[in-house]
Amino acid sequence: MRQLRDTVWQRRGTSWVWDEEARNQICVANEVWSLRQFLRASKAPGSWPDDLPSNGGKTLVVAGLDGSLDLLTPTDAETWLGDAIKPAILSFQDEYEGDAALTFWLPGGHNRVRAHAATDEVRWLCHMPHGHQIDLGRIFWGKANEYPQEILLRDGGRPAGLFHLRIT
């Protein structure tokens, strides 16, 4: 998987971030939206704010995706991601015309997001007792596995998250 040391993920595209230092670079706690707020804004015309709450109006950080996935069976989670979350991401992208960043805060993501080194497939490890893996690449970017990039805050560091410039 390609690695990204640039800060473009803080201003554009969609990211899934699990590193607290990375999250702190773009927002403070009271700027984070709940998943419910995010989904509500995506469904009501004119509900997206003119100025996003974080990073000088360039970023929206959303928390709660991981907890919601944990409440669902793997099959229901896949359906929900495709039927509710992906359209909400697309709505965000359309509203801001690719000139804003959407970041999903996944505090335990370093243990749950699995990138296969040989194929660049990205999967979400479901909460026990399921233990299944959800193919995020298939759901969000149609298996165009060359596009997601690992976010690195420093050379030789562990990935802080994943970045995708545009979901289609």
Q: Where are the domains of the chain?
A: 2-164
Written as six digits, the tokens of 6 are 């640039």
Q: What is the mean pLDDT of residues 24-32?
A: 96
Burial of residue 9 (CB within 10 Å: 0-12, 13-18, 19+) is buried
In the block, residue with structure tokens 């099959």: 75
Written as six digits, the tokens of 149 are 């990039």
2 contact partners, CB below 8 Å, separation of at least 6: 146, 149, 150
Please determine, for residue 128, whether its predicted confidence score (pLDDT) is greater than 80. no
Q: How high is the pLDDT of residue 163?
A: 95
Q: How far apart are CA 92 and CA 141, in angstroms?
A: 15
Q: How high is the pLDDT of residue 146?
A: 59
Let me know: does 20 contact 161? Beta carbons within 8 Å. Answer: no
- Name which of 101-110, 128-137, 153-162 the model is least confident about: 128-137
Report pLDDT digits (tens) over 41-89: 999 888 999 999 999 999 999 999 999 999 999 999 999 999 999 999 9
Q: How high is the pLDDT of residue 144?
A: 63
* Helix ranges, 7-160 (H): 20-26, 35-43, 65-70, 74-80, 86-96, 109-112, 136-141
What's the half-sphere exposure (Cβ side, CA atoms, 13 Å) at 151? 27
Which residue in 122, 145, 148, 127 sits closest to 9, CA to CA? 148
User: pTM of this prediction?
Assistant: 0.94
What does the radius of gyration of the chain's CA atoms come to, in whole angstroms? 15
